[in-house]
Amino acid sequence: MMKKGTGFLTAVATLVILGVGCLVESKHSVGLATKTESLLAAGFPSELKIAQGQNQCPRGPSVAPAKETRKIREEKFGFSFDIPTNYQTEKRQDNTLMISLYNPADIQLLECGKKNRLRGYGHQTLPVWVTVQPATPETRLLPELSSTTLRLENIRETTIAKQKAFVYIKKSSMTGKTDADNVETTLSANFFTPDQQNLVTISTFNYGDKISAVEEKVFNTVISSFAFVR
């Protein structure tokens, strides 16, 4: 998965393969008409098709999560968690397992992009992710600050699935600038599997200073219901 300006994380009931999902907030479309005109003048057909796709298949407002939930089970790592019944999942696995949880607004956008054979439309989605990646003795539950990770906020130690966990907000910027147009906000929860061999991360993302209230609610549903079932 990718998000604007940065590579992101490389997630089992119904498996829905709808298209490449990356992230961008709706404000990314600001000035799109100007961009389209520029691309026409410059003669970049591929980039133009991406810009046109954002106009043709914009992401609508997030739909409120259903009160009813259904259980997602991951057999390989032996865990389960709940999601709202109006959400759908997409699973990908190589060295890292990633389960993307899509709001109905995301599903509509992805179906529109696929139907119209557009490129770049998936980056407007705002999923919640559950990822599992191999851990080493040096793997930490909190990320280190770097040139792109500006700071961690609201760090809270807790227990998820009977495992020590940290929930936190990460502020990052690929440009190094700290204004609202450049700062990216990620809400994450990190904990190890019981055998300490893998790091589980539950997260969601947005541009600017705030996480969507809808995605935060689904994030909390996932972490409160997460359980290792072996």
pLDDT at 118: 85
| Tens of each residue's pLDDT in the chain, 230 residues | 444 444 444 333 333 333 333 333 333 333 333 333 333 333 444 443 444 445 788 888 999 999 999 999 999 999 999 999 999 999 999 899 999 999 999 999 999 988 888 887 777 888 999 999 999 999 999 999 998 999 999 999 999 999 999 999 999 998 878 877 788 999 999 999 999 999 999 999 998 889 999 999 999 999 999 999 96
pLDDT at 53: 46
Q: What is the DSSP letter of 197?
A: S
How many of the other CB atoms lie within 10 Å of CB of 85? 12
The model's pTM is 0.75
**Sequence letter at residue 218:** V
pLDDT at 122: 77
Which SS3 state, helix, strand or coil, does residue 159 take? strand
pLDDT at 147: 87
Q: Is 70 left (phi over 0), alpha (psi -120 to 50) or beta?
A: beta
pLDDT at 31: 34
How many of the other CB atoms lie within 10 Å of CB of 65? 20
Strand 184-192 relative to strand 163-172, pairing = antiparallel
pLDDT at 44: 40
Contacts of 62 (CB under 8 A, 6+ apart): 103, 105, 126, 212, 214, 215
Cβ pair 43, 49 in contact under 8 A: no
Tell me the domains of the chain and their CATH numbers.
2-228 (3.40.1000.10)
Cβ pair 187, 108 in contact under 8 A: no
pLDDT at 54: 53
